[in-house]
Amino acid sequence: MKTEVEWARMTAPDLRAIAGNAGALAILPIGSLEQHGPHLPVSTDTASASAAALRAARLVSADTPVAVLPGLWLGMSEHHLPFGGTITLDYDTLSRVIRCIVRSLRALGFARLLIVNGHGGNMEPLAVAVRELAVEFAMPIVATTPWMLAPDQVREILDVDTGVHHACEGEASVMLAAMGDAVKTGLFGQAFGNQDHPVDVPADVSRFYSFAERAPVTGTWGDPRSATAEKGERFLDLHADLLAQLIRNDVLWTTPDPVWAPGRGQGTTAGRAD
């Protein structure tokens, strides 16, 4: 019998039993509700993160008390608003929502949280939020974007695109595997043929560009025409394996240093008094 890992399918006593174990892990998939060209559903980022998180949890469930929360379908997607279909949070609201989730998990007894992100626009906000919340709640919190964990292995699966962009070969493949009935394969050619990318942003600088500036015609960046469900399964298996490795990496799950504790600056870097 398979161990259930999906939070929404369990009862309160089921979840109470998981949380009562030492090192109990909650996994929060987060994505967005945003345009993904004429061919992919607006739930793409949330669906891909959720699928990867569930697969990873099943890989570790025999030795890790784990539950995967429902995917958080709101992220920071203001750069996609010009294309329609997009609902977005601002940073203050996103960080407060995650704070409420962390606070609830601590009250329930969960010891740690892994946030699995499927949306590029969430990466920087999550990096700041998890640093602050980990210290505030004395709880190890890790955020990661599976697409970014092993770019060389991702490129080995791709036939055309040089990496993962937006509504591209990689994302279209994952959606064919995860939600094939919502993918409009007949529009793959239109999504690729009408691309224009007038803004080439230099590396290692930050400023705001909307996707209407970076991909102004269809909001697509990449070539979905060679996407297949088989590639999507390979991507999801890769993501799940990489996430399982993170879950089992003890270095990631130490208790955060209480840097805001009164007098913490009077100790040594090892936390001991001189």
pLDDT at residue 271 tops 70: no
Domain ranges of the chain: 7-257
Query: How confident is the model at residue 184, as a pLDDT?
Result: 98
CA 266 to chain CA centroid, Å, is 38
126-140, 147-161, 196-210: least confident range: 196-210
- Rounded average pLDDT over 37-49: 98
- Rounded average pLDDT over 103-113: 98
Query: How confident is the model at residue 58, as a pLDDT?
Result: 98
Query: How confident is the model at residue 201, as a pLDDT?
Result: 82
200 or 1: which leads in pLDDT: 200
Question: pLDDT class for 47, splitting at 50, 70, 90?
Answer: very high
C-alpha angle 115/118/119, rounded to 5°? 110
pLDDT at residue 272 tops 90: no
Query: How confident is the model at residue 8, as a pLDDT?
Result: 98
pLDDT at residue 270 tops 70: no
Which of the 8 DSSP states describes residue 224? Answer: G
Amino acid 134 reads A
Question: pLDDT class for 196, splitting at 50, 70, 90?
Answer: confident
Q: Tell me which CATH homologous superfamily contains domain 7-257.
A: Creatininase (3.40.50.10310)
| Percent of the chain predicted with pLDDT > 90 | 92
Question: How many C-beta neighbours within 10 Å does residue 227 have?
Answer: 30
- Rounded average pLDDT over 58-86: 98
pLDDT at residue 50 tops 60: yes
Answer yes or no: are the C-beta atoms of 171 and 191 closer than 8 Å. Answer: no
Query: How confident is the model at residue 216, as a pLDDT?
Result: 93
Which residues, other chains included, contact 223 with Cβ-Cβ below 8 Å and sequence gap of 6+? 160, 161, 168, 169, 192
